Structure formats: C-alpha cells, structure tokens
Amino acid sequence: MNSNQFVIGVDYGSDSVRSVIIDALNGRELASSVYEYARWKKGLYCNAAANQFRQHPLDYIEGLEITIKDCIQLAGGAEITPYIKGISVDTTGSSPVAVDKTGTPLALLPEFENNPNAMFVLWKDHTAVKEAEQINAHATRFDVNYLKYVGGIYSSEWFWAKLLHVLREDQQVRNACHSWVEHCDWIPFLLTGGDNAAEIKRSRCAAGHKALWAEEFGGLPPDGFFSSLDPLLLGFTERLFRDTYTSDIAAGTISKEWAHRLGLSENVVIGVGAFDAHMGAVGGQIEPYHLSKVMGTSTCDILVAPTKDIDGKLVKGICGQVNGSVIPGMVGLEAGQSAFGDTYAWFKNIISWPLNNLLDHSKVITPDVAEALKAELSEEIIPELSRKAALLPIDEANELAVDWFNGRRTPDANQLLKGAITGLSLGSDAPRVFRALVEATCFGAKSIVERFIQEGIPVKGIIGIGGVAKKSPFVMQTMADILGMPIRIHQFTHTCALGAAMFAGVVAGIHPTVEDAMTAMGKGFDENYEPNEANQKIYAKRYEQYKGLGEFIAFQIAQSKDQVSAANQNQVVS
C-alpha cells in the first residue's frame, strides 16, 4: 500500500462547516478549516420567535469549497492532492430541502433565491409542530404501526412534518417541489455531479431515523398512509426513494467540475452521507452499549448494539433504531436534547443585552472600543460563569430549571414544551441561575439514560464529544455527578469530521470495514470525569425535583392548549 493515503471528512454543523484532511493509515491530521455560514451569521431567513430556522444552500456550497481548498493549501497544496482518495460528509438532520427534477434546491433558482420555504429547513426549525401532531394522530388509525422504529412519536424536527408544512405554507414552492432531500444526501449528490433527483443515494441513517423508512415495510410507508393524511402528499413516496445505503457505500466519484474547483483528481470517491452525530460516534470510537453524546447547540445521543441483541425489542420515546445507521451490522439507536449549548447561549444573550444594545450609544468610549469590549467580554462570559458556578455549594433548595427551551426531543418528543426556572429570590445572581441551567441540561441527559435502561438497553459508559465536551469541565463534571457514570472525552477536536474521514477511508478502499477504520484512525481519549459520590446523593434528590417541575410545566402547557382549542371550537360553532 502507498504510504500516502489521505481522506477528507466534512462536517456541517448548525453554525459552520469544518473540513479535515486525515492520513487514513494512522489518523494523523494534516489540516483543518472552519467556515461560518455568511447568511446564517447575519440571521437571514430565520425568525426565532416563530421557531423558523432556514439555511441557504449557498452557505453550504461556499463553505464546502472554501474549507476543502483551505485544508489542501495548509497541508501542502498540489503536492498532496494526488494522495487524496476519498471524501465523506456528515450534516445536521433532519434538515431537508425542496428540489426540482434535477435535484437542484429551489433556493438556487432565481425565482426562489430569497424564499425561506425554498431553503434547507434546519433540524431545530419547529414550524411543523401542528403537522407532527397530525401525523401522530393519523398513525393510530392503521393496523401497521409505522412509528414503531422512531420511538412511537413523530417529531416536528423531522422529514415528513417539515415537508407537509412547507407544502401547505407556500403554493409557489408546492408547485415547483418535485422531491424532498436531506442535506446529508444532497452534498454527495452535488459533489458527484448528479442531475436527476431520482438517482440520489439516500442515507440509511436519515431515512430510517427521520423519514419512517424500515426494512420491515420494504421501504417507506405506502402512499396511502400519507395521501390520506393530506392529499398534498399524494404521489410523493414515488418521487422519493425505496432503497437506502449505509455510509460505507460510495455515492460515486467526484464530478469533473468539482474536481477542478477543488484541485483534486477525478478518481476521488465520494461516500454516502449521514448525520453528524452518527459519524461523530464513529469518530469518537463508539463501543456497544456506550452512549456517545455529541454536545453542541443540542445533543444527539447515539448507542450501538449487536443486531442479535435487539431482535424484536422496540425502545419507546427515542429518535429511532435503525440497522446499519451508525455501523453496518449493528443497530443504531438515537436520542438527544433539543437545546444544550443553545440553553447556555440563550442565557448569555440575556445577560449580554446591555453590551449588545447600549455600548454602541456610549458617550464615554468610541465605537471601535465598544466593539472590542463586546468581543472580549463575550468570550469571557460563559467561562467566568462556569468558574463561579463551580464554587457554589450544591443544595436541595437551590434554583431549579427545566431544559426544554427548544422543546423536548427525547424521551417522548414534544416540541410544544417550554423551559422554566423556579426557586428564584433576590439572592439569585447570574452564576446561580447559570448553574441551575447546567444542572437542568444534565438532568435532561439523565432522563435519556434512564429511558434506555428502562427499555432493557444497558448503558455501560458515556463518551463525550463536541464543543461543550471539550471546552467545559464544569458541565462535564456536573453531568458525571448527575449520571453517576464516568465520562470519557475524545481527544480529537473535530470528532464528527474525523468520523466522516473514517467512512471516506472505507469507501476509498483503504480500510475494509468501519471497525478497521476506527482502529487505525482513532485518536483515543484525553479527559476522564469521575462522579463525585457526595454530589450524587444530593443530585438524586434534585433530579426528582426536576421531574416534578417538568410534570407541572407539561400539565400547564397541555391545559393551556386545550383551552385554546376549546375557544377556537366555540368560535367556529358561534
């Protein structure tokens, strides 16, 4: 084997895309590059108050080209390009988009270039809550349980709910929409020069966890399931897909256009895509029954188990269980939290309001100094809050929060739920409230672990990856104490991109299996958090308080919803 065997892993996150060039023989990083989405950074096409979060495909295309070319330049330029053998991609999900017959996202057409409904509907977009509720109610009318492999509850964050919402919302998009494609499926299609939506190789990961695809059903649920929900969905299954592919399969080779744009050989193999957390779990060297927690703006929790162990077992209230969605030959089980780092970012924005809104009008300092001061303090807020919060005593009477600031993903998806903070007093300062929010996100993590165990799936340990895992010892120690489990932190910075690179090593023929790629390219762990026994006892009581507060919030929201529904019905009758 040639001593130079390089691969590229591309990881699309919520705010940015990062690419890495990796030596496939030993996992050595040659270069990495990060690009923040230009339009997203400006807040374009989003409306947080309406839970609308859309991303323009140009952000993805520009980031892809910029980061890969940057990596190549950093790694040695044209000298190394002959040795780059494969590219694989992971993305957020479910983040689908409307495309025409050629597979072109509608937002890339002039008439749709500024239409949010023609753009990718980001995973955390919750505009389809109503549609998800209708899918859940509709599914109960069928003898076959089409929700059995997605935990029994369909989420507004997923494929079909978002499609139905966009079709209902926008007649122009509805008339032009030929098919509906996940971000992780579209990027490989783009790189291979695809021009027919029917030929897109759909990811087993995305299809199984978000689109109701299952081996048992022979593909997607039948057209009648969807068209009887809403005639707008009539015929869509025929324009989507039946077959799916695990990510150790090649989507094709790079197109002449993209080879030229990136300066690569036309022999570079492009792998079938997958979601970030699934490839991140591989990059983080996941083991059977160890929960891989990708901790960023949200969390995505991945567990793998041998297929024979899962035989006939259905886990209630999670985001799906799919054979081969993480590692071929194993069942991948997914859970997660809709807001994790986003919870901390929300609090940071709250207490930064004077910085962001008053400094610009200061009569004491110049605008340049104001901008510099904002940038400096913005970087210090969370680390300083963490330092102060870590010094506070843990007590049952402390401030208490529930972490549903972007709804609840698992267990038991419900995007209508809201966050809460209670136990406030005049002594509740920023570090105390921040600590309550950190505890809440960790209690949310505990509820996921509990659900797996209750459903007969043991959790033997925790593997932490992602930005929060790497940057916040306070959060990780709190989580270890609350879970009562040690947490290993993977040492690689861009772990999802590393996982994508591992799959690229397989599709390029450098490694025969994903497991072989993990062994050769894995970088191990550099931190280990052990639970503090004394804290565990207090947190066990605090967790019961958290569950009680959560039940109260859920009851209040359900009651309010019922009152609104009754009022609407009365208006219709009158």
104-157 pLDDT, tens digit each: 999 999 999 999 999 999 999 999 999 999 999 999 999 999 999 999 999 999
Q: What are the structure tokens assigned to 475, written together?
A: 């959060």
Neighbours of 240 (CB within 10 A): 21
pLDDT of 394-417, one tens digit each?
999 999 999 999 999 999 999 899
373: Cα separation from own chain's centroid:
32
Residues near 432 by Cβ (< 8 Å), separated by ≥ 6? 389, 392, 398, 399
Does the pLDDT of residue 571 top 90, yes or no? no
If one compares 50 and 1, the residue with the highest pLDDT of the two is 50
Cα separation, 387 vs 381, whole angstroms: 10
Q: What is the pLDDT of residue 572?
A: 53
Of the pLDDT bands very low, low, confident and very high (cuts 50, 70, 90), residue 574 is low
Give the span between the Cα atoms of 360 and 367, in whole angstroms: 6
What gap in Å lies between CA 237 and CA 546, rounded to an integer? 42
Provide mean pLDDT across the span 170-199: 98
Largest pairwise CA distance in the chain: 79
Residue 573 pLDDT > 60, yes or no?
no
Quote the pLDDT of residue 360: 87
Confidence band for 560, pLDDT divided at 50, 70 and 90: confident
Give the β-pairing of 96-99 and 54-55: unpaired
pLDDT the model gives residue 523: 86
pLDDT at 542 over 70: yes
Percent of the chain whose predicted confidence (pLDDT) is above 70: 98
Q: Which amino acid is residue 360, in one-letter code?
A: D
Distance CA 154, CA 221 (A): 14
What average pLDDT is seen over the chain? 95
In angstroms, the CA 312 to CA 374 distance is 55
The pLDDT, as a whole number, for residue 237 is 95
* Percent of the residues in the chain that have a pLDDT greater than 90, as a whole number: 94
Q: Which domains does the chain have, with CATH numbers?
A: 6-284+492-527 (3.30.420.40), 337-490+532-560 (3.30.420.40)
Is residue 108 exposed (0-12), middle (13-18) or buried (19+ Cβ within 10 Å)?
middle
How many of the other CB atoms lie within 10 Å of CB of 523?
19
* Residues 441/337, Cβ–Cβ less than 8 Å: yes
State pLDDT tens for residues 251-303: 999 999 999 999 999 999 999 999 999 999 999 999 999 999 999 889 999 99
Q: Is 419 helix (H, G, I), strand (E, B) or coil?
A: coil
Q: What is the per-residue pLDDT across 454-471, written as a single tens digit (0 to 9) for each? A: 999 999 999 999 889 999
* Dist. CA 526–CA 82, nearest whole Å: 33
Name the H helices within 211-306: 223-227, 236-239, 256-262, 276-283
Nearest to 266 by CA among 254, 279, 282, 280: 254
How far is the CA of 306 from the CAs of 318, 333, 385, in angstroms?
18, 11, 42
Mean predicted confidence (pLDDT) in 536-563:
93
Joined tokens for residue 166: 């966009």
Residue 466 has what pLDDT? 86
Query: Could you write out the DSSP letters of every residue in 139-207?
Result: HTTSSS-TTGGGTT---TTSHHHHHHHHHHH-HHHHHH--EEEEHHHHHHHHHTT---GGG---BHHHH
- Contact call for residues 279 and 496 (beta carbons, < 8 A): yes
**This model's pTM is above 0.85:** yes
* Bridge partners for 37 per DSSP: none
